[in-house]
Amino acid sequence: MNQDLDQIKIQYQHKIENIESTQELEKIRIRLFGRNGLINDLFKNIKDIAPADRKQYGHNLNQLKSELESLFDQKSKSLSVNSTSIPKINIYSPNNTLPKVGHLHPITQTERLLNEVFQKLGFSLYDGPEIENDEYCFQRLNVPLDHPAREMQDTIYIKEPEYLLRTQGSSIEARLLSQEKPPFKAAFPGRVYRNEKVNKSNHFIFHHYQGVVVDKNITLKDLFGTINLLFKTLYGPNVVIRFRNKYYPEVEPGVGPDMQCFSCHGTGCSICKGAGWIEMGGAGIIHPHVLKMAGIDPKIWQGFAFGLGLDRWVMAKYNIKDIRTLLGGNLAYKPNEL
């Protein structure tokens, strides 16, 4: 009987070693260890072995079972490793498996484009505090405490009357005029805040892009040339713009650049409030009194300043009909041409 067990071991050891698939291995496993398999039959037949040989036979049968199970485990692991398909990778092919990544906010993109344009024109980039004091936001810009122009801007105060959220980027201009020695060119983008009613065209948080130039013999021609260049850079050579007389306390004369409405193309709509034009900012020649307050002699030095409503520039560039979209936080929204 022990010779029969040795033959079974040799026979199945050979079969297991030559198996090439997990399917074949499973068939042999069932044939050996299944409920009606060979090993179970051998255990059932122990009762037919002579009592004197039964103990030794049972020991040898358990050993055979253990050895065959070990062979099965080893073969199963070997087949699993060999059957694992490792894809070939061409390191030179374009990678189309990367997930979609985000994009810069359109305001950030436009701001960076303007930064690049101004730096090429010799401007330096500056920044300033969003929580400002009354002196730099108003008084140094020719708006004293009792000036009626304060009513033009519905200011949000942090600690009235001294500290406030800046209502315009011109507060940085006031700081630069006091700190820098002319001649200089500076540009400074950033957020500004006013207690505005939120609608399609207005928001209490918006973005200004401001600039200031101080040099000798500065005229309106220099200002118009700079603003024309900005419009053509963003909207192409066929953009339609106009300049209107405007009042701003810190400049004299003051002008307002308008662009033909991107939505109705001049016929009038809710975006442009029926005017056919959209106000894109304010500008002008720096008032002599503002220069004097900063310690700059207006008889020697002149300058121009401008402030652009960056949100409206972005809306026009990407045909965005509602300013609230820019600050709405909808990650799925993607403007045209972005």
174 lies in the same domain as 208: yes
Other Cβ atoms closer than 10 A to 117: 16
pLDDT tens for each residue of 266-276: 888 877 888 89
pLDDT tens for each residue of 58-105: 788 788 888 888 888 888 888 776 655 556 666 676 666 555 666 788
130 lies in the same domain as 54: no
131 lies in the same domain as 32: no
pLDDT at 181 (0 to 100): 94
Cis previous bond, 183, omega within 30: yes
Domain residue limits at 159: 106-327
137 lies in the same domain as 180: yes
Other Cβ atoms closer than 10 A to 2: 12
137 lies in the same domain as 214: yes
Show the CA angle centred on residue 315, arms to residues 314 and 318, nearest 5°: 80
Contact between 178 and 140 under an 8 Å Cβ cutoff? The reply is yes
pTM for this entry: 0.65
In a domain? residue 88: no
26 lies in the same domain as 79: yes
φ and ψ at 213, to 5 degrees?
A: -130, 130
Taking the C-alpha atoms of residue 178 and residue 290, their distance in angstroms, rounded to an integer, is 10
Query: What is the total count of domains within the chain?
Result: 2
Other Cβ atoms closer than 10 A to 108: 13
173 lies in the same domain as 41: no
* Residue 254 pLDDT class (50, 70, 90 cuts): very high
Mean pLDDT to the nearest integer, 296-309: 95
238-242, 245-249, 287-291: range with highest mean pLDDT: 287-291
125 lies in the same domain as 79: no
pLDDT at 303 (0 to 100): 96
Taking the C-alpha atoms of residue 110 and residue 115, their distance in angstroms, rounded to an integer, is 9
Give yes or no for residue 241 having a pLDDT over 70: yes
pLDDT tens for each residue of 292-302: 999 999 999 99
In a domain? residue 332: no
Q: What is the CATH classification number for the domain harbouring 205?
A: 3.30.930.10
* Residue 201 pLDDT class (50, 70, 90 cuts): confident
123 lies in the same domain as 203: yes
Mean pLDDT to the nearest integer, 269-296: 91
Helices 220-235 & 310-318, crossing angle to 10 degrees? 40
* Residue 286 pLDDT class (50, 70, 90 cuts): very high
* Residue 318 pLDDT class (50, 70, 90 cuts): confident
25 lies in the same domain as 150: no
> Rounded mean pLDDT of the chain?
85
159 lies in the same domain as 23: no
